[in-house]
Amino acid sequence: MKARFCAVKKTIIVVGGGLAGLVTANILARAGIACTVIEKKEYPFHRVCGEYVSNETLPFLKSLGLFPEELNPIQINRFQLTSVNGKSAELPLGLGGFGISRFSFDQFLYQKAKSNGAEFLLKTEVDSLHFTGDGFEIRTRDKQMEADIVVGTFGKRSKLDVSLNRDFIHQRSPYVGVKYHIRTDHPSDLIALHNFQDGYCGISNIEEGKSCLCYLTHRNNIKDFGSIKEMEENALFKNPFLKSIFSNSDFLFDKPETINEVSFEIKKPVENHIMMSGDAAGMITPLCGNGMAMAIHSAKVLSELVKDFYNEKITRNKMEQKYLLQWNSLFAKRLWAGRQIQKLFGSGRASDFAVNLARQAKPVAKFLISKTHGNPF
């Protein structure tokens, strides 16, 4: 009798359970491939994010049962832009998007991944990752593990970036993100982006009649004014739209969610043989409202290649090369466009120019928006 060749099963560890990690876990688990997600926090939890998800993700999410219909996401298809001094323009959003809190969306994807068979190690932070030649050693505070494949979905900035000595980590980034959930009178189909000196603030609706109010600013802005509250009253309130929102809303958090050192530097999507996805591979400026779609899309592309490597259809080298090619062709130009468009925000003159462009040259404005977005996948 012929001996049947039986491939030794590879172990897969996904580091970071945000959107990219949770989508990867769902895809692999649904294909019957065991994987463990290591996440430093415990679900559900809030994150700094504008919580507007581009509709380009809909076909994919629906095909895997990952669209959170039961949470009543809000459909959004109008875009309002205001300048630092309150000039306003409106544009249709083309494909549009949906509003859902990360608190609920991530919890939903986590439950789905668990029921699909993915394993989770929560409240566990990975301290170091080391490629040994044919696999990885992974260290947490009290565990050492081994894996054949590591998927890096640890977000925009992690202590792992430091331990891996990634290039971008040596550049300090001046951006700070601040987020609130509020109850206010905001039209449900509208996402608005309001400029203020050295920053911009998005508002759009999420589930349960709430709105997400989220802004990005320069850390010196907070330093100069002394506190977030002082900065809001003295810089954000100069835009009458922001003054009105802040003055006429119920704020639902005791204090805002904040993050520092938000970086848009170029990163490598594969580093030390770690397959990176989502913000760990490259982060788009938040004004594009496309980071979550990119996290989901890159997780899809990556997972298909990981499946092929797992099933011994391709070598590790081929998996990495193919991923780099696909990642660059799908996302590199979008990240570049996002960085250029960001220059039109956060200053009086540039934001006036952007609003005038949106009012008087709608096709150009629509073209610029389209450059930061992808096609449905």
Binding site for ligand FAD (CB under 6 A): 15-21, 38-41, 48-53, 125-126, 153-156, 158-160, 177, 214, 216, 262, 278-280, 283, 286, 289-293, 295
Q: Cα–Cα distance between 86 and 328 in angstroms, integer?
A: 37
* Nearer to ligand FAD among residue 265 and residue 359 (C-beta): 265
> For ligand FAD, which is the closer residue by CB, 3 or 53?
53
- How far from each other are the two terminal CA atoms of the chain, in whole angstroms? 46
Q: For residues 53 and 293, is the Cβ–Cβ distance under 8 A? A: yes
- Residue closer to ligand FAD by CB (options 288, 354) is 288
Q: Taking the complex as a whole, how short is the minimal distance between the CB of residue 103 and ligand FAD, in angstroms?
A: 12
Nearer to ligand FAD, 216 or 358 (CB): 216
The span from the CA of 100 to the CA of 53, in Å, is 8
Eight-class DSSP state of 136: E
Residue 12 or residue 283: which is nearer to ligand FAD going by CB?
283
Q: Which residues pair with 140 in a beta bridge?
A: 126
Q: Distance between CA atoms of 62 and 13, rounded to whole angstroms? A: 25
Q: How far is the CB of 98 from ligand FAD (least distance, A)?
A: 10
Closest CA to 166 of 239, 85, 272, 64: 272
Please report, as a single letter, which amino acid is at residue 38.
I
Find the shortest distance in angstroms from Cβ 360 to ligand FAD.
Answer: 26
- Nearest Cα neighbor of 36 from 8, 18, 14 is 14
* Least CB distance to ligand FAD at residue 117 (A): 20
Q: Please give the residue whose beta carbon sits closest to ligand FAD in the complex.
A: 18
CB of 217 to ligand FAD, least distance (A): 9
43 and 110 in contact (C-beta within 8 Å)?
A: yes
Rounded Cα distance between 20 and 104, Å, is 15
CB of 262 to ligand FAD, least distance (A): 5
CB nearer to ligand FAD: give 127 or 224.
Answer: 127
Q: At what angle do helices 291-310 and 19-30 cross, to 10 degrees?
A: 30
In terms of CB distance, is 139 or 359 closer to ligand FAD?
139
- Taking the complex as a whole, the smallest distance from the CB of residue 27 to ligand FAD amounts, in Å, to 14
Which distant-in-sequence residues (6+ apart) come within 8 Å of 372 by Cβ?
284, 288, 290, 334, 337, 338, 341
